[in-house]
Amino acid sequence: MTVNRIIEKHIKIEETDLIVKTDQLEQELPKFIVKQRLRLKNYINVHPEFLTSFDPVMVGGEDNESTYAGKSILHDPPLIVKLMARAGRKGDVGPMAAVAGTISQLCMGFLVENGSKYVIIDNGGDIALKTDKDVVVGLYAGESSLSGQLGFRIKSGKTPMGVCTSSGTVGHSISFGRSDSVTVFADEASIADALATSIANYALGETDHDAVQNSIERAEDFKNIMKGVLVVVGENAGTLGKIPKLVQTDRKVVLGDLFDV
């Protein structure tokens, strides 16, 4: 039996910081990323509220028509903008809450379209994957004792999938809560990213237990558009929906068996 060699590549373009694992790396991927970023920047230059809003926004192309100087005109924003806006509306957050997951999703699609059978794109903890074998995605939850000790075994038949994590204690992303990690599993990384942000914003309360419960209550609003969620605050954790099987890890397993978030 022939085993395909897995290639790992680090690609950093401004704020986009990807770890790519694939059986077939397309050399045009960096150019593809630059193009997506440019399309997003150009849209923001004309619509600055897309960058700053903490609330969902509508974009041209929703009804594919708008008016300018009294005349009806057609709009067709780039796909990255439409995916981010849609995810923001589903999660009741601003579109930029979904930017990392959306870029991961688009990059995964690009590699799959170019023949890859095994693709994992990690954009700062927001992952899109489509694989032909089972993988384990590690849980990183800051100072919680659960961090690095648990992983999610994801079956190849359940992919493509988005696995996105938001945190109020780790990383540079804006979160109004204090979760160590909120990890959402959904069909699309763009939506998983927005939902993780939205749920993490509710990780509030006098105790860690309260913060977990408040997050889970928020997650109830999204149970029909996600597979499941795991919330970790300190030594407290809670789940909703169907998350992949949890397995123990030690961060020293063979490269390719564990993909750390």
pLDDT tens digits for range 121-153: 999 889 999 999 998 887 654 555 555 567 788
| Overall pTM surpassing 0.75 (yes/no) | yes
Distances from the Cα of 24 to the Cα of 35, 71, 127, 176, angstroms: 21, 48, 18, 39
Domains and their CATH numbers in the chain: 7-57+74-260 (3.10.520.10)
pLDDT of residue 176: 59
Q: Are 123 and 103 in contact (CB under 8 A)?
A: yes
pLDDT of residue 260: 43
The amino acid at 168: G
Residues of the chain with pLDDT under 50: 1-2, 62-74, 141, 171, 252-261
pLDDT of residue 174: 53
pLDDT of residue 197: 93
Name residue 13's beta-bridge partners: 16
DSSP states along 236-258: EEEEEE-PPEEEE--S-SPBTTE
pLDDT of residue 75: 60
pLDDT of residue 2: 46
